Amino acid sequence: MDLSQVFSNNKKWIKDKLTNDAHYFEHLGQGQNPELLFIGCSDSRVTAEELMGLGPGEAFVHRNIANMVSAIDLNAMSVVEYAVVHLKVNHVVVCGHYACGGVKAAMQSADLGILNPWLRNIRDVYRLHKTELNAIECEDKRYDRLVELNVKEQCVNLIKTAAVQKAIRERGIKVHGWVFDINTGKLIDLKIDFESFLEDIREIYHLD
Ligand code: CO
């Protein structure tokens, strides 16, 4: 890859934006008011804004390996706190994707060094849903299902946070679990009933 191309692409992008709206960058410079927090995988084939057809300013984005929401990840927790409490987004999305290398790695027995503790969070999702997953004979289907269950569990992790619990109660914020099908480009809504999850875990995880 010739990186000088990146800078000529950038020049063209600026020109295109200014052709449509001469004040485009002035507006961007005035601040952000995104409605959506998007937590996705760092996979190079998965985009955030592009696959949703959104532009700059419309989504607050956090990406990491296998779209995890870990309570001891200062980065993810800060993003959630900032987006929910300060930017006051109305929607929080965890978006996984089929053919996720992180999820695949967690299904295999291999020592991957510093990746081990990260991937162990996904192994924990497998353990939690072992009966359902082990009943799926086809390995590819089991893999797809673990991608979906991982999204679900990361949504549950989101509603374990005080910021999200409070925002659900006070202003009806919504939590969504989606999967991006890398083979077709389709975005699938897993239609996660996060309110009943909150009800389910309230006894143990309720914070305010
Ligand atoms: Co991935």
Residue 41 is a catalytic residue:
yes
Query: Are both 20 and 63 inside the same structural domain?
Result: no
What pLDDT digit, counting tens, does each position of 90-121 carry?
A: 999 999 999 999 999 999 999 999 999 999 99
Domain that holds residue 68: 32-46+54-205
Q: Which member of 62, 95, 97, 155 is catalytic? A: 97
Q: What CATH number is attached to the domain comprising 126?
A: 3.40.1050.10
Q: How far is the CA of 122 from the centre of ligand 1 (A)?
A: 12
Count of alpha carbons within 13 Å of 14, Cβ hemisphere only? 8
**pLDDT at site 208:** 67
Same domain for 77 and 5 = no
pTM: 0.94
Residue 59 and residue 14 share a domain: no
Residues 124 and 97 reside in one and the same domain: yes
In the reported structure, the alpha carbon of residue 147 is separated from the centroid of ligand 1 by a whole-number distance in angstroms of: 9
Give the pLDDT of residue 9: 97
pLDDT in tens, 20-66: 999 999 999 999 999 999 999 999 999 999 999 999 999 999 999 99
Q: How many domains does the chain have?
A: 2
Specify the pLDDT at position 126: 97
